[in-house]
Chains A and B, each alone.
Chain A
Amino acid sequence: MTGLETEEILSAIVFYLLSGVVVGSSILVITLRNIFRSALFLLLAFFATAGLFITLDAEFIAAVQVLIYVGAIGVLILFAIMLTRRIQDPVAKSTTRSFILGAFVSAAFLFFLILILGKIYLPPFPETGADTEGITKGIGRMLLTYYLLPFEVVSVLLVGALIGAVVIARKEEARGGEPPEVALERERKDREITDSKPDGNGLEQNDRKH
């Protein structure tokens, strides 16, 4: 067996292992009842995807995948779980009510995706001039020359996301979790009411009078 063959076999094994992890953990993400665990499996799927990028020699993309999806989006998702009210019982029933509708929508989406992917015209990628330094330099050069406009638009998009998030969070705060000033105010009022109640805790009332 020559070296080249072994490497090919090995990389095939690695590919199928990684894909298996991605597919398996993705299935677990949607089937597990425990929302925190399913979020963790989502992160595992992200991580394995980074491994797939590595097998494609796209090390920069892989690093960004881990940096952003595992390190940032992962934290965001886990924090979002802490924000929900019903993690008290983590085995909340996942409703299968809209299962058929969901299946239909996903199937339609897949169908159109295949349709579009066949038709779409992708402009041929210009020569990146990737040297021994790997693809990072190529990406940098392309971003700032050929793909300049999309690149600048990305920054606007990011700011849009940030502002949108703040606006929505403020609204949430106003509706559900009240902002701290309001909470303090309410607490103060509550205390006044209990204080003025005649059948309140006698001991406490005496304490307050001093």
Chain B
Amino acid sequence: MASDYIVVCVMFFIALGFVGVALFVAKLVRPRRPTNVKLTTYECGEKPWGGAWVQYNVRFYLVALAFVVFDVEAAFLFPWAVVFKKLGLFGFIEMAVFIFVILFGLVYVWRKGALKWV
């Protein structure tokens, strides 16, 4: 029921409000004396060299992609798990087929070395 989610919505704003209040209170108390050195990017005390917004490795992207696929699959598993007891053997076989197809994908990715993190 949508009315169950009133409290969820309120909680969302309470979280934002809590952080807002905390930051505001701290703002009243804390000092503010910025200097140039303070405001530079931290790089172990060296002069910062270049920015951080550079090209990162493709392997991060591959992990995210594999995650999307398995996450979608997990989303399908939830309704199955809830009704599983009533479905019995038939439900098991159907889901086993589903899971094995996905596992085939995992094995393929594994064999291709996409999961290798050198």
> Once the chains bind, are A155 and B101 in contact (CB under 8 Å)?
yes
Chain B min CB distance to A83 (Å): 5
Segment at the interface with A among B23-31, B35-43, B71-79: B71-79
Q: How large, as a class, is the contact surface on chain B?
A: 35 or more
> Once the chains bind, are B102 and A165 in contact (CB under 8 Å)?
no
Chain B min CB distance to A201 (Å): 19
Task: Give chain A interface residues in 119-165, CB to chain B under 8 Å.
Answer: 133, 136-137, 139-141, 143-144, 148, 151-152, 154-156, 158-159, 161-163, 165
> Once the chains bind, are A57 and B2 in contact (CB under 8 Å)?
yes
Q: A82-B55, A155-B102 are in contact. Are A140 and B82 (CB under 8 A)?
A: yes
Q: How large, as a class, is the contact surface on chain A?
A: 35 or more
Beyond known contacts A72-B68, A72-B72, A151-B98: 20 more, CB 8 A cutoff: A54-B2, A57-B1, A72-B71, A76-B65, A83-B56, A88-B53, A88-B54, A136-B82, A139-B79, A140-B82, A143-B76, A144-B90, A144-B91, A144-B94, A159-B108, A161-B65, A166-B108, A166-B109, A169-B114, A180-B118
* Chain B residues at the A interface, C-beta cutoff of 8 Å: 1-5, 9, 51, 53-58, 60-62, 64-69, 71-73, 75-76, 78-84, 86-87, 90-91, 94-95, 97-98, 101-102, 104-105, 108-109, 112, 114, 118
